[in-house]
Amino acid sequence: MRTAGGPTVCSGHPSPSLPHSTRSRPASTQSQLVWSRSRSSVCSKGSVKVFLKANQRKLLLLSPLRAADSSATQAASSVEVPNNNNNKTLVPDDGFSLSKVSFGVVGLGVGLSLLSYGFGAYFNVLPGSEWSAIMLTYGFPLAIIGMALKYAELKPVPCLTYSDAQSLSEKCATPILKQVKSDVTRFRYGDEQHLDEALKRIFQYGQGGGIPRRSAPVLEMIREEVTNDGKYSLVLVFEAKALQLSDFERRQAKFTSFFGPGVTAEVGKGEKDLYEVRLISNTDANASAS
User: Which pLDDT does position 70 carry in this prediction?
Assistant: 42
Which mean pLDDT values do the consecutive 10-residue runs of the chain (290 residues) have?
Answer: 40 42 42 39 39 42 40 35 52 77 93 94 90 93 95 93 89 94 92 91 89 93 93 95 93 94 93 93 71
Between CA 151 and CA 140 the distance in angstroms is 17
pTM of the predicted model, to two decimals? Answer: 0.65
Total count of residues recorded for the chain: 290
Q: What is the pLDDT of residues 242-256, one digit of tens each?
A: 999 999 999 999 999
Residue 26: burial class (beta carbons within 10 Å; 0-12, 13-18, 19+): exposed
For the chain, the structural domain boundaries read 98-151, 159-289
Between CA 202 and CA 249 the distance in angstroms is 12
User: Which pLDDT does position 14 carry in this prediction?
Assistant: 45
CB 32 within 8 A of CB 38: no
User: Which pLDDT does position 56 carry in this prediction?
Assistant: 45
Tell me which H or E stretch contains 218.
strand 218-226
The third-level CATH classification (topology) of the domain covering 159-289 is: Threonyl-tRNA Synthetase; Chain A, domain 2 (3.30.980)
